[in-house]
Structure 1
Amino acid sequence: MELHLEVLVISCLAAVVCCRADSVTHFDVKPSGQHSHHSASLGSATCVFSFTTVGGTNEDWQMTIKENGDKSVTCIVERPMKGSYLFFQKFAASLTGMEIASVEAYAKNQLSSSEYKVDFDTVAHVDGQFKSALSALMITSKPARKEL
């Protein structure tokens, strides 16, 4: 009986460690020229993506938030399976209250770091540098600090 209990406990712990739930939401990016945003949360982490686009037609985009093993959080905003044909006038994304450790932004290729700026918990386009193309954005926070 004791061996069965140990196996059950180990199995439950493995399930919790390996299979954390990610938050995945879909949203439309409409080329209206109007400022729009989409947000989603996972636990205490909230990711917000703000944008203004023109040209093209509505596109289905996806936001994924996941907690990493080191207690950092990653937010991925992307047009799955395809590049975007929209002209982004502006964009910004934030992990509310969490300091950003890294950013990767893509259009057909990876964006130059001169096209966006990072300010604590927000990444945003840089006027005059951003070339108006975006198809994926990944931001990762610094790991959460453990309380003493």
Structure 2
Amino acid sequence: MAKLCVYMNCVFVLVFGLSSLSVPAEASPEQTKTVEFNVKPGGVVYTFSEAFRDYECSFTYASQGGTNEQWLMSVGLSDDDTLFSCSVWRPQGKSYLFFTQFKAELKGTKIEYASAYSQSAAAGHSDVPLRPEEFTIKDSTVTHNEGKFSAQLSKLVAIGRTRHDEL
């Protein structure tokens, strides 16, 4: 089990079970960075990117409805520099925007784990994973599936293996 990512200004614990991963328990605050950005409606495609050391996360999206929303992006490395994580989320929870598309791209890594979430009033405003058919995970991207994505997004997490070689 590995814990990685950042949530607001403190460490967000993302627990995932991938038997191929054997990494330290979590990333220290010095290994992470969180920045705020506006998600803008209007159907225009926007990209927000943030880099950490030799790695970068880009979040590309288009959305409709409502007004700008404040979102956060966290990027960071595991303590042993073998995993790079990117999390994008709305700290207030449910987004009132309808996303017509989204894509997260990790540069310099190969994605080992990714997931996307919406929030449901029926589930008490808790994170609800998108159905597997709503998005596709490739080597370096996580992308919505046209015609299958429900247009609801509140969080996106991607973790990639760096090309760090042990001596």
TM-score by length of 2: 0.74
2:108 corresponds to which residue?
A: 97
CA distance in 2, matches of 1:131, 1:24: 27
Would the aligned equivalents of 2:54 and 2:108 in 1 still touch at CA under 8 Å?
A: no
In structure 2, the partner of 1:106 is 117
What CA distance in whole angstroms lies between the structure 2 residues aligned with 1:114 and 1:69?
33
User: Any residues of structure 2 matched to 1:36-55 within 5 Å, and which?
Assistant: 36-55=46-65
**Partners in 2 of 1:45 and 1:136 — Cα distance?**
20
Unpaired stretches in structure 1, ≥5 consecutive residues = 1-16
Deviation at 1:147, TM superposition (A): 5.5
Rg (Cα) greater in structure: 1
Where do 1:1-148 residues align within 5 Å?
18-70=28-80, 71-108=82-119, 109-146=128-165, 148=167
Contact 2:31 2:79 in 1 (8 A): no
Which of the two has greater helix per residue?
Answer: 1
Fraction of identical pairs, as percent: 33
Runs of 4+ in 1 over 4 A off after TM superposition: none
More strand by share: 2
Aligned residue-pair number: 132
> Partner amino acid for 2:76?
K
Shift of 1:19: 4.1
Q: Deviations over 1:9-49 (max 9, x none)?
A: xxxxxxxx844241211111111110001000000010000
Q: Check conservation: 2:108, 2:163, Cα contact below 8 A.
A: no
State the SS of the aligned residue for 1:92. strand
